[in-house]
Amino acid sequence: MVKEGKVEMKISRMEEGWVEAIMSALIPPGGDDRYPLSALDTGAVEIYREMLLYLPRLTGLGLRAAVVMIEFWGPWLGLGKVSRFSRLGPEEKEECLVRLSQKDAWLVRQLVLLLKSVACLAWCGDQRVRAALGHELPPRFVTR
C-alpha cells in the first residue's frame, strides 16, 4: 500500500505480539505507585506502528530488526537460554533486557536502546504520566 509516495509498512498480529512483550518488559505495569501506567497503557505499540509509517524505509527496517533480534536471539544472547523472548516470564524478560543492554557488542546495546526509546516516547508523551510527573505545575527554583 502506498501512502503519500511512501510504501506503508504494516505489522502482522504476530509482530504486534512481539512488540507488546518487549514494551511491557521495558516499562511494566505497576512499576511505581506514583506512575502505575505501563508502556502498553500509553500506546507504545501504536507509536511503533505509526513510526513505521513515517520513518524512512531503512530506519523502519532497523526498528523491525530490533524487535526480531530481541524476540529470537535475545534470550540466547542475554540469558544463554534457547527460547523466544515473548515466552519468558516477567522477571526473565527484565533480566534479559538488562543483560542485552550491557553487552560488549555495540549493535546489541543499540537495538535495545532503540526500542526503549519507542517505549519512552509513548510513556512520556501520555498526558496522565506528564501530570503525575508534575509537568503542569509551575517551575520551582532553588533560592541561593
pLDDT single digits (tens) 60-94: 999 999 999 999 999 999 999 999 999 999 999 99
The pLDDT tens digits for 6-15 are 555 688 999 9
Task: Report how far residue 56's alpha carbon sits from residue 72's, in angstroms, rounded to the nearest whole number.
Answer: 25
The domain spans of the chain are 2-132
Integer Cα distance of 101 and 97 in angstroms:
6
3-state helix, strand, coil in the chain (%, to 5): 60, 5, 35
Cell numbers at 136, concatenated: 503542569
Query: How far from the centroid of its chain's Cα atoms is residue 101's Cα?
Result: 13
pLDDT in tens, 16-38: 999 999 999 999 988 777 788 99
Provide CB contacts within 8 A for 136, sequence distance 6+: 130
